[in-house]
């Protein structure tokens, strides 16, 4: 279904075309990627444009858009929580709301970098930390986060099986989005360690665009899966 029918407090129905919204979110990702590549192709003539659209920089338009996308996902997950009746499912949806809210804040605050460095300092010896940093000089947090990433995946599998059992298409879309986001946010970050300081600048530019674009595309697809789930929950609620 490309449209959701929502009932207002006055009893009126409103058609919400979520497919149109998702398409516009994808288009904005494309526009941001083109802005980055166009500025790089022109030789980065303006530091203002680079500051606004460089996907490897922080506190700029791509970063804030990513944070906004995760905030949007958080709101949809909260809507699913409201539509759920069983206590177990409410707790699972609340955990999604919490995690996605942290993801939104983390886009700006970079909590994951500071958190995993603090954890490594507390749990690993100085020699081990030095060995990790010497082998993964560009970005060591994906290595430090790997065990926690595995735990998070196990929890996601458990939650998705319970929450999307009556709507496999929505669940598959949601999971696909999270996988694409993980490829961009974790795997592509890890591959930075295999690019040397002498690598051509255009390689870094392409890597940054692919990495950030995959993160945003994955988030949009996850949002689409959750929107599909809200439709299923609303239909089931209206039939009772």
pLDDT in tens, the chain (240 residues): 455 555 444 443 445 578 899 999 999 999 999 998 888 888 888 778 888 888 877 788 999 999 999 999 999 999 999 999 899 999 999 999 999 999 999 888 777 666 666 666 666 566 665 655 665 555 555 666 667 777 888 888 899 999 998 899 999 999 999 999 988 877 777 676 666 555 566 777 788 889 899 999 999 999 999 999 999 998 876 555
- Counting the structural domains of the chain, the total is 1
The DSSP secondary-structure symbol of 192 reads G
Instruction: Write down the pLDDT at residue 138.
Output: 57
Partnered with residue 14 across adjacent β-strands are 6
| Residue at 226 is within a domain | yes
Instruction: Write down the pLDDT at residue 62.
Output: 92
| Residue at 86 is within a domain | yes
| Residue at 18 is within a domain | no
Q: Please tell me the pTM assigned to this model.
A: 0.81
| Residue at 176 is within a domain | yes
| Residue at 132 is within a domain | yes
CA-CA-CA-CA torsion sign (145, 146, 147, 153)? positive
| Residue at 138 is within a domain | yes
Instruction: Write down the pLDDT at residue 8.
Output: 41
| Residue at 27 is within a domain | no
Print the domain residue range for 120.
64-239
Q: Which long-range contacts (CB under 8 A, 24 or more apart) does 38-43 make?
A: 40/201, 40/202, 40/205
How far is it, in rounded angstroms, from Cα 38 to Cα 32?
Answer: 10
Instruction: Write down the pLDDT at residue 64.
Output: 93
Torsion of CA 131, 136, 139, 140, to 10 degrees: -40
Instruction: Write down the pLDDT at residue 184.
Output: 86
| Residue at 198 is within a domain | yes
Helices 141-163 and 168-182 pack at an angle, to 10 degrees, of 180
**Structure tokens given for 141:** 């947090």
């Amino acid at each position: 279904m490309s449209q959701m029918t929502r009932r207002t407090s006055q009893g009126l129905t409103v058609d919400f075309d979520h497919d149109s919204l998702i398409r516009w979110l994808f288009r904005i990702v494309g526009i941001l990627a083109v802005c980055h590549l166009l500025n790089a192709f022109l030789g980065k003539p303006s530091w203002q444009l680079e500051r606004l659209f460089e996907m490897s920089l922080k506190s700029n338009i791509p970063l804030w858009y990513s944070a906004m996308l995760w905030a949007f996902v958080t709101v949809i997950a909260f809507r699913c929580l409201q539509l759920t009746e069983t206590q177990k499912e409410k707790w699972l949806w609340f955990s999604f709301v919490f995690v996605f809210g942290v993801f939104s804040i983390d886009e700006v605050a970079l909590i994951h970098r500071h958190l995993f460095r603090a954890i490594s300092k507390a749990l690993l010896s100085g020699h081990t930390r030095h060995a990790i940093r010497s082998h993964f000089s560009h970005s060591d947090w994906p290595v430090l986060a790997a065990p926690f990433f595995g735990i998070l995946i196990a929890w996601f599998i458990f939650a998705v099986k319970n929450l999307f059992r009556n709507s496999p298409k929505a669940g598959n879309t949601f999971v696909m989005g999270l996988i694409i986001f993980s490829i961009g946010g974790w795997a592509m970050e890890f591959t930075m360690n295999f690019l040397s300081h002498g690598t051509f600048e255009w390689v870094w530019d392409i890597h940054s665009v692919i990495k950030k674009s995959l993160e945003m595309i994955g988030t949009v697809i996850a949002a689409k899966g959750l929107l599909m789930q809200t439709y299923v929950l609303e239909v089931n609620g209206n039939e009772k």
